[in-house]
Every structure is written in C-alpha cells, then in structure tokens.
Amino acid sequence: MVRPPTARSAVPGAGRLGLLEPTAADSLRELAWDNVESIPLLWALSRAPDADLALLTLVRLREQLGPRWNELDEALRSEISLRGRLFALIGSSSAFADHLVAEPDTWKLLRRGELPAPAELVADLLDAVEAVPGPHTTSTLYRASIAGPEAIALLRKRYRDQLMLLAAHDLAATVEDEPVLPYQQVGRHLTDLADAALTAALSVAVARVCPDGPVPVRLAVIAMGKCGARELNYVSDVDVVFVAEPADNTATRLAAELMTVAGNAFFEVDAALRPEGKAGALVRTLESHLAYYKRWARTWEFQALLKNRPATGDLELGEQYRAAVMPMVWNASERPDFVADVQTMRRRVEDLVPADLRERELKLGHGSLRDVEFAVQLLQLVHGKADESLHVQGTVEALTALAAGGYVGRDDAANLTASYEFLRLLEHRLQLQRLKRTHTLPATDDEEGMRWLARAAHMRPDGRQDAVGVLRSEIKRNGLRVRRLHAKLFYRPLLESVARLDAAALRLSPQAAVRQLAALGYAAPENALGHLKALTGEIGRKGRIQALLLPTLLEWLGETPNPDQGLLAYRRISEGLESQTWFLRELRDEGAVAERLMIVLGSSAYLPDLLINAPETIRMFADGPTGPLLLSPKLYDVRTGILAGAARYDDPKRAIATARSLRRHELARVASADVLGMLEVPRVCSALSSVWVAVLEAALLALIRASEAESGAPAPADIAVIGMGRLGGKELGYGSDADVLFVCDPRPGADETVAVKWAIGVAEQVQRLLGAPSTDPPLQVDAGLRPEGRNGPLVRTLGAYQAYYQQWAQPWEVQALLRAHQIAGDQELGVRFLHMIDKVRYPEGGVSAEAVREIRRIKARVDSERLPRGANPATHTKLGRGGLADIEWTVQLMQLRHAHEVPQLHNTSTLESLDAIERADLLGADDVELLRDAWLTATRARNALVLVRGKPADQLPGPGRLLSAVAKVAGWPNDDGSEFLDHYMRVTRRAKTVVERVFGS
C-alpha cells in the first residue's frame, strides 16, 4: 500500500526522476501531480530519457496552455499511448520540447495512433501554402497560393509537426509498452516526408518563377543518397540531381528556388552529386546527363547512382533518367579503374574523420555505417549485372538480396543488418536531441550524455551492468562485428565455393567468384581462386584454420598494391611451412603478425623469397614489451651474431654460407620494418651497411683461417678492406653493390711478392664466394674504384697505394677517396691507410682550381652521357635531375674545397657532411635543407623501387599501379602515385637549382 505524501516527504517517483526537493516537489505541486492519483504519471515520467527536461517542459507547457492545461492533464491520465509518446519525446529532444512550448496546442497531434500515409504528407504540406495543381502540368507539380516570406514559416511548422509525430511514435516504447517502430519504417517515413517537403518547396518555386500560366519546362527532381534509398535520417542533407527538358534559365531558376525554400523551411538540399559536381550546371537535360556519364564519370559517381530515385516533379522524366543510367551502373565494375576508385573513395571518407574521433564516429569511423554501406554497394556493383535481384536501393534490402543469392552468408547478413540498424538507431537518437546533424557519440567521460543516450535507445540494465554499461558493451560489440563481417562479407562466400565448409550454404558460381575477386583488386582472379582452393584444401586442422583465417587475411591483402602477388607468396610460405605447427597458430593468435605479413607480401616482390628462406623472421612481426620486435635487434648484436655464426666452421664455404644465411634473416627484418613504415631512411641505410660489413668481415676471417690452417703457418700479410662509395658512407640501399679497396701489408720477414699474391687470392675468393648464385639478393663485391680501375692489381700494399696517389691520382679518384672508410680486416692497417689518404683527399689549402674545373667538367659529362637510353631525367633517382648523384657530387665538391679548414667535413656520410656544411655556413640553411630533402626523397624512392620490383632499379615508373605501389612503400600518405611523383619532381627540381649554383660558381 502506498501512503499519501506529506507536505515535506519525498515526492513519489522523485528518486527515480533523479530530482531533489524542493525543485521536483515544487514542479510537481505546480502541475498538481503531488498526490497518489498521479503516481502512474510519475512512474511514466521517470522512464523518460531525460526526466528533468521532460518535467521542465511540462511546467512550461502548463504556463503556455493556461486553462487549456486541464485537457492535456486529463488526456495524460487516461491515454497511456499519448503519455508514452509525449514523455518520451520531451525527454529525448530539447528541440521538440521547445517546438511544443512554442506551439502548445500541437500536443493533440500526438493522439494520432497511426502515421500518415505518403499522400497525406504531401497533402498536408501543400495545404500549408494552399497549393493547387498547375495547369497543363504533371501530377506532382503544383503552384502555391502563398509564396512570399510567410510561406517558409508555414512550411517549417507543418514539417516540424509531422517530424514530431514520427519521433513521438519512434520513442514511445522507452516510456510505455508501445510497439517499437522498425528501422526501415522510420527511414521510409522520413523519406516520404522529405519527398512531400520537396514537392511543397517546388510548388512555392513554381509560384515565384512562373506565377501565371503553364510551366514551360519539365523538371524532375532525382533523390540520391539516403533519400534515394528511402533510409533517410531525422536530420540530413537531401542529395538531389535535377533533370529538365529544356534545361534553360527557367528550369535553373525553379531548381534554385526549390533549394532555397527547402533549405530555409526543412533541410539543406545538396546538388553536389550532379555531373562535374558544384562546378557543373545545376540543371541538365537527360541527353546531357547521359553524355557526361558515358564519357567522363568516375566509378564513385556510378556508385552514387545506385540509389537514384525520382522523388518529385516530372516523375515520367525521372523514370526515363533512371532507366537510362542504371545499365551504366551495372556495367561499372568492368571499368579498368573500378577497384582503385572504390578503394580510394573509401580511404578518402575515412581520412575525413579526425583521429581522435574515429572511435566515436558512427558514420565514418572504423566499424561504422559507411563500412557496411561501402561493402554492400561494392557487392551490388560486382554481381548486379548478372543478377537483377540485386537491383534494390536500401542497404538492408540489398543485404537481404545478397544473402538470398549466396553472395553473403545468411547468418552474416542477419548479423550485419542487426549491427547496421543498431548504429542507425543511435544516430537517430543523437540527432533528435537537438535536431542537429551529428554522428558522434558522447565523449567517454561524458557520463550524463551516455546515460541519456542509453535511455533514449531503450537500453536496460542486464543484471551485471547498468544501462550505460550495456550501451557501451553494445557499441563495442557491434563495431567489432561490423569490422569482422566487413572482411567476411567478401571472402566467406568465396571460401564456401572452393572449400564446401557448410553443406547448407549457398555457393557462388565460379563466374561469380571470379567477378568478386576481380572487383576486390585481383588482376588474375582465376589464379587467385586456384590459390584459395589449394589453401583451404589442406587436410584436417590446418585446412580449418586456413578457412578461419583467410577472410581477414584476404581483406588485408586486398588493401595492398599487389594482392595477386601477396596471395601467391602466402600460399608458397604456407606450403613451405607445412610441417611447422607454429606458423598458422601465430597468425591465428597474433593479429598484428597476420596483418603485417599480408601488408609485406602484397607490397614487396623483394621480401617473399627472403621470408620463405628465413621464416623465423615472421615471428618478429609481433609486438614485444617495448614495441615491434622487428626493431629490437641492435646493429652491434647483428654484427656479433654473424661473426660468431661464421666462426663456428673451419670450412670457409660453410662459414660464408652461415654468414649469408644470417644476412638473409637481417635483410628480411630490415626490409619488413621498412615496408611497414617502422624505419626512417638513415636507419635503413645504416642497417643495410652494417650487415654488409659484417658479412665481408666474416668471409675475410673465414678465408684467412682456412689459408693458415692449410699452410700450417701464419698468413704472410695483414689485409684490410676499405669501404668506398655508399658502403664507406654507411648509406647502402637494397640495390647497392659493395664498392671496396683491398689493401695489404706484408708481415715482417715475408716476401712482398708472395704476400701480395696471397692477398689477391684471398680477395678473389671473397668476391667469388660472396657473389655465388643464390636465392638471396646478390652480394657483389666491386673493386672497380682501385687505382687503374679493373686493369690494376686487385690488392696493393699500403706503400704502393701511397706512391700511386702521390704521383698519379686523378681528380675523380681523389673525389672517390672522400668516402673511403675502414670496414673489415686488420683495423690498424685500415686506419693507417685512411691517415695516408687524408693528405690526398684533404690537401692543405684545398684542391687546386684546376682539379675543381676538372670535376665540374666530369660532372657535366656525367649529366649528358651517363643517363641510360630512354630514361627520364626528371625521375631517375640516381642520375636524374636533383637525384642522388647531384646531391653527392655537390657535397663532395664542397668537401674538396673546404675540408682543409672545416675538420667536420672529414666525413664519409652525405647527410652528416650536409650538417657540417650548414654549421660552417658554407651554404644557407634553406639550400642545405633542399639538398637534404632531395637526398632522402631519392633514397627512399630508390629503396622502394627495389622492394616493390624485387630487383635493383633507379627509374621511377610512370603513373599506374607500379608507381602507386612504390608510393605506398615509400611512405606516401596515400597510394596516389601521381601525387607522389609530383612531390618527387618538385623536391628534386628545387635541389637542382642549388646544385647548379654550386657547380656553376
């Protein structure tokens, strides 16, 4: 039994309302609800999403209604449906609360038990401006009798009333036991209301443009986007396209007036999806539309046309438009740029969302509405040409049709539909709050906002969590489900077709499977289908794990530049590791490993063979306690490991094979980290140089040990290896040879001739054994920079080098010595060699003016003669304009001229020498930055070329798939190869101006 409240006791229901005395008590007393008879009202009010807002609005309504309040009060006590609609509405939407207070008698509209039919909506909005059918016009063209400024206010109120009625029915179930409106019914009613609004706006436009007599043009308004698909939001722009016959000034004025009236009274009307976008004509004839779509339209424009629907105006002309464009839509998947366009559009949409909002963004973030819509539309475009059942516009209808046709698993379609409708529900509730266009969830620390949203979305505690906890769990669950099913959506049906995983599942035909793979970016879909059959055909548990993994793996591969290459490489690795139980388990349990492996395999032709021969590197794709394991090895540890591994063997062939094996592992590690964007250019070059040095050192030591063991006596000479070129500067790239000089020094008592002969034998074996054919990238040891070039002896003594350089050294040889650095063999001998050549490369007073002129002459000759035939000088990374040779020659010329007075220029590194040039003020900081930027850009591009193509290359390709792949591997923020190429040419062109100034002065 409930006791009547006393004057100062708690108001019944106040605790549930979240209100405290005396505010709640005063408000309820003012409404005369502070009594036992009002308890059902209080309990209903307590269930409103924002009970405070609802109570405040009721008080404001009472003030506005005055004596008429009694009618509303009585109705609320007796009409449960009205009570549920009103309390839910004013507790969910401050905008509709304000609307009711401003127009207090409109509460009576909420008594209506059924939503009006489309014809009623049209009639109601036309009645607001007293519109009548125009003479000699089609059935949906009317002329308003009220067309002045007052028409906007009249239309706005009538539209807001109808929107309020729908919202009240949509929300009522949160307060009373009212039927829940299905998502599709809400979207269709909103679309019907939008069509009616456009019809009314057009009637005002007709009255303004053609006030007297017949309308001399036929104008069709084509709805696009969500309006075209009949899945409109409460607050949304309405996308349209205008078709007119003729497309003259009158038609343009009608369209413009329609947009103005609708924008002021209802919603923004956006015509940006028309041909040429906002730069194109607002109104076109049907013939003009078709001419554009046949010749100029991009794939995304056909994707947009999927949802076109005649909305108002001349519906016959609208149907002619639809009939003419839809065949082009269903042929769009055969366009050569189809996959690239769809993927680019999807990435562009994702890039619009700030990083800090992606987890809160319902429409464009990860696992969002757009993920579902893009996936569904892509499948429609792929299969719609051959299957007319897919010729539907709504997302849910399309998912149903895709499931019925076997293009999507039935369970997947049902789950994706449920998640899509849940996300749309949240979107609707967020928009209703203030009638603002938004898709962003409240911030994670906004407890009040999340509590309101949970109640407005009809979330209920589940015994373990309160309503907010349930909402957070549902948001996370549905977002993850969308992401997971987005992958399965494309690939699960393919796997069903090749592996018969589910006997009850519908299967794609081979032709449909090939179409789907082609649409996902596979250039050879028949081959890809064969790879899938082989992978899923593995016997037993491995086949089942592959079937579990492949949907996600294939999606990641589909995002890479070359999914065909990646799928083949994955099959080769899987078959090569057939006996290794850890491989599939690692991919299944470590998501980062699987994703990174697919990125690497689909991006680089350089890496698959390395990974096949050094599969343990794949384990390093995981994250460790301090970050990616690919970044954990230190250069010293790598060198120590290679030397220790080779030292375990007396046979030099086995020792060198071990060193090469460890080099293979290190190359795979460095290149993988590079492709994944984990390493900057200087670290890549340093790592590649260090591993080269370690292998050279290991090979040299192994051969010396073997020689001494064979002869039973110590070696007759000390031998050192001097790194030259990029090896000496520790700036090797993936395609670089190892330029070296071999120097020896006979030991005391040894015959010099015998010592030199022995050293030459060792050096020749180093070259031969390291350069032996292998599945690894080549190990060419090039001694071509030695005195007298290839005509001179392979090894000289320290004294012979000194005599040559003092008497015969040419300017280019002096220039080459600028990058000489001791890297292997006898350390003391190598340092003595460097001290000896310091007098040659850093002479007192700098090199002579004659030597500078000679270097300039040689540089000019290199520019004119060395570029390969057919190469593009603007995009050749080594010898092209502003390329590596330009930058390095510029730095070396400044070293030759100034190193005698700037000790910091005694440096073999191009980048470090540039730093020294800037500190010494030999060039301005801006000029140095241009040179540095060009060197890094060219090196990055050259490395990416090798990684992508799998072999040394210096020439950037022209626009196309290969260039886009190079751009992506080079770290360009998108895979638009043309943008990357423009950037490369701009950077190198600016650097060339500095090069010409230095060499011309």
Main-chain phi, psi angles of 312, to 5 degrees: -160, -175
Res 515 pLDDT > 80: yes
Res 759 pLDDT > 90: yes
H helices present in 93-149, as ranges: 94-102, 118-128
Res 17 pLDDT > 50: no
Looking at mean pLDDT, say which of 351-355, 722-726, 809-813 comes out highest: 722-726
Cα pseudo-dihedral 328, 331, 337, 341, rounded to 10: 70
Quote the CA–CA distance of 179 and 182 in Å, as a whole number: 9
pLDDT recorded at residue 807: 93
Q: Which two tokens mark 663?
A: 């080099």
Quote the CA–CA distance of 417 and 392 in Å, as a whole number: 15
Q: Coil, strand, or helix at residue 314?
A: coil
Q: 541-558 and 563-576 helices cross at what angle (nearest 10)?
A: 160
Quote the CA–CA distance of 13 and 597 in Å, as a whole number: 59
Sign of the C-alpha dihedral, residues 358, 363, 367, 373? negative
Q: 195's torsion region: left (phi>0), alpha (psi -120 to 50) or beta?
A: alpha
What is the DSSP track for 467-486? Answer: HHHHHHHHHHHHHHHHHHHH
Whether 190 contacts 166, CB under 8 Å: yes
**What mean pLDDT do residues 935-946 have?**
97
Q: What is the average pLDDT score of the chain?
A: 90
Count of C-beta atoms within a 10 Å radius of residue 967 = 26
Strands 738-746, 781-782: parallel, antiparallel or unpaired by DSSP? parallel
Q: Which two tokens mark 72?
A: 């509303």
Q: Coil, strand, or helix at residue 648?
A: coil
Residue linked to tokens 């007796």: 78
Cα distances from 146 to residues 197, 208, 263, in angstroms, run 15, 10, 17
Note the pLDDT tens digit of each residue in 240-272: 999 999 999 999 999 999 999 999 999 999 999
Whether 282 contacts 230, CB under 8 Å: no
For the purposes of burial, counting CB atoms within 10 Å of the CB of 268, is it exposed (0-12), middle (13-18) or buried (19 or more)?
middle
Q: pTM to 2 decimals?
A: 0.73
Q: Where residue 4 falls among pLDDT bands split at 50, 70, 90?
A: very low
pLDDT recorded at residue 342: 72
- Intra-chain end-to-end CA distance of the chain, in Å: 104
Quote the CA–CA distance of 387 and 682 in Å, as a whole number: 54
Count of C-beta atoms within a 10 Å radius of residue 653 = 14
Quote the CA–CA distance of 868 and 871 in Å, as a whole number: 5
Note the pLDDT tens digit of each residue in 67-118: 999 999 999 999 999 999 999 999 999 999 999 999 999 999 999 999 999 9
Q: 572's torsion region: left (phi>0), alpha (psi -120 to 50) or beta?
A: alpha
pLDDT recorded at residue 682: 96
Whether 756 contacts 717, CB under 8 Å: yes
pLDDT recorded at residue 21: 40
Note the pLDDT tens digit of each residue in 401-440: 998 888 887 888 999 999 999 999 999 999 999 999 998 9
More confident residue, 142 or 378: 142
Res 121 pLDDT > 90: yes
Q: Coil, strand, or helix at residue 460?
A: coil
Length of the chain, in residues: 1001
Note the pLDDT tens digit of each residue in 433-449: 999 999 899 988 899 99
Peptide bond into 116 cis (omega under 30): no
Whether 369 contacts 423, CB under 8 Å: yes
Main-chain phi, psi angles of 104, to 5 degrees: -65, -25
Q: Which two tokens mark 867?
A: 């570029």
H helices present in 577-618, as ranges: 581-589, 591-603, 607-613
Quote the CA–CA distance of 251 and 209 in Å, as a whole number: 9
**Among 45-59, 629-643, 910-924, 986-1000, which is the least confidently predicted range?**
629-643
**What mean pLDDT do residues 281-310 have?**
95
Amino acid at 665: H
Summarize the chain as % helix, strand, coil (round to 5).
Answer: 65, 5, 30
Q: What percent of the chain has pLDDT over 90?
A: 73
Q: Where residue 506 falls among pLDDT bands split at 50, 70, 90?
A: low
Q: Which helix (H) or strand (E) holds 142?
A: strand 142-143
Whether 197 contacts 155, CB under 8 Å: yes
Q: 525-536 and 563-576 helices cross at what angle (nearest 10)?
A: 20
pLDDT recorded at residue 501: 52
**What mean pLDDT do residues 663-686 have?**
95
Amino acid at 232: L
Q: Where residue 139 falls among pLDDT bands split at 50, 70, 90?
A: low
Contacts of 898 (CB under 8 A, 6+ apart): 846, 905, 920, 922
**What mean pLDDT do residues 735-756 have?**
94
C-alpha gyration radius of the chain: 38
Q: Which of 850, 936, 940, 855 is nearest to 895 (CA)?
A: 855
Res 172 pLDDT > 80: yes
More confident residue, 584 or 322: 322
Q: Which of 795, 969, 988 is nearest to 887 (CA)?
A: 988
Q: Which two tokens mark 48?
A: 């409103």
Whether 841 contacts 902, CB under 8 Å: no
H helices present in 746-848, as ranges: 752-770, 798-807, 811-817, 827-841
Q: Which of 620, 659, 654, 656 is nearest to 638 (CA)?
A: 659
**What mean pLDDT do residues 331-340 have?**
78
Q: Which of 767, 878, 858, 756 is nearest to 814 (CA)?
A: 858
pLDDT recorded at residue 500: 52
pLDDT recorded at residue 304: 93
Whether 703 contacts 827, CB under 8 Å: no
Contacts of 941 (CB under 8 A, 6+ apart): 877, 956, 966, 970, 984
Res 996 pLDDT > 60: yes
Q: Which helix (H) or strand (E) holds 625?
A: none
Quote the CA–CA distance of 821 and 900 in Å, as a whole number: 18
Note the pLDDT tens digit of each residue in 521-560: 788 999 999 999 888 887 667 778 888 788 888 878 888 8
Whether 379 contacts 332, CB under 8 Å: no
Whether 302 contacts 328, CB under 8 Å: yes
Q: Where residue 709 falls among pLDDT bands split at 50, 70, 90?
A: very high
Residue 31 has what DSSP assignment? Answer: T
Q: Which two tokens mark 123?
A: 């009639």
Residue 606 has what DSSP assignment? Answer: S
Which residues share a beta bridge with 313? 220
Whether 312 contacts 198, CB under 8 Å: yes
What 3 state SS string does 859-882 have?
HHHHHHHCCCCCCCCCCECCCCCC
Amino acid at 151: A
Note the pLDDT tens digit of each residue in 852-865: 999 999 988 888 88
Residue linked to tokens 């060197």: 935
